[in-house]
Amino acid sequence: MLRPIKYFPIIFLLLLFHQSIAQQNTSQSLVQNIISSYNNFNYIETDHFLDIALNEIEKFSPPDQIQIYQYAAFRKFQQGEPFQARELFWKLLDIDPTHSLDPVTTSPKILALFQKTKIEYLGNMEERLQKIQKDFMYEPLPWRSLVFPGWEQLHRGYGLKGTLWVVAGSGCLIGLVQSIIRTEQKNDEYRNATVPDVVSQKYDEYNRLYRSRYYWTYGFFAVWLASHVDAMFLSPFKSPAQLSLSIKNQYPSLSLTIRF
């Protein structure tokens, strides 16, 4: 009694497969009926089939959707509704921007409308791509220049400028460190001096080195601030995200490339 239950999953999968094949055949048959009735000038029947297909357009494959939108646009144009025909052509081009009509079998007026719509569509696509790419081409906060002068410039590809800022910042730090060390040495020499002339001389040397520490510090902060301002306003990011449009297997695809 339990043995038939073992075969239930297989039977269920077979039923699903059969239903899928039947639905696919029905869809293809409906598209063929649309084309056949249109070519036979049976426009009442064509409109009937188109109404059915458009109401269930998501159930059709992309090639079948292209055919449905194409013949629906033909009928709208013939019915004196060029705006609706243009909208249907636009939906067709959303699926395949490379689609073309047969110049031999297509009415010149319909062909002219399609070509005009295609030009508008491709122009609109270019604008959309530029807008999307512009959204990715942002200027991130140059936080690296806050850490050390020149780091952000080097990260953004400004080799010479970044190196100069790094050298300037490093030079100020090295000068500050050596002035601190030498100030301590001169301070010891000044405290150990006993001869009045020597005491005065050592004090002058100590005082000069002591003040130089502030000069080196001011110099470093000036370089740090200038480097950050340069990174924010004068060194635009050289590695934006890039969008590209490609056609593969007759269908468009977008690819995004981000360089770090």
* Two tokens, residue 86: 């243009």
CA distances from 155 to 100, 113, 141, 200, 232 (A): 46, 50, 12, 50, 13
Of 22, 27, 83, give the one whose Cα is nearest residue 55.
27
What integer pLDDT is reported at residue 2 of this predicted model? 44
Mean pLDDT of 20-28: 50
What distance in Å separates the CA atoms of residue 179 and residue 214, rounded to the nearest whole number? 9
pLDDT tens track for 135-187: 555 567 788 998 999 999 998 889 999 999 999 999 999 999 999 999 999 88
pLDDT tens track for 215-253: 999 999 999 999 989 998 888 876 444 545 554 544 455
Buried b or exposed e, range 163-177, using 16+ CB within 10 angstroms: ebbbebbeebbebbe
Mean pLDDT of 198-214: 88
Q: Are 101 and 71 in contact (CB under 8 A)?
A: no
Q: Are 77 and 110 in contact (CB under 8 A)?
A: yes
Domain spans in the chain, listed from the N-terminal domain onward: 3-136, 143-234
Find residue 246's DSSP bridge partners.
Answer: 253
Mean pLDDT of 44-57: 93
End-to-end CA distance of the chain: 65
Q: Given 1.10.287, 3.30.1330, 1.25.40, 3.40.50, which CATH number is that of 3-136? A: 1.25.40
CA angle 215, 221, 225 (to 5 degrees): 145
What integer pLDDT is reported at residue 25 of this predicted model? 46
Mean pLDDT of 118-127: 86
What integer pLDDT is reported at residue 258 of this predicted model? 47
Share of the chain above pLDDT 70, in %: 77
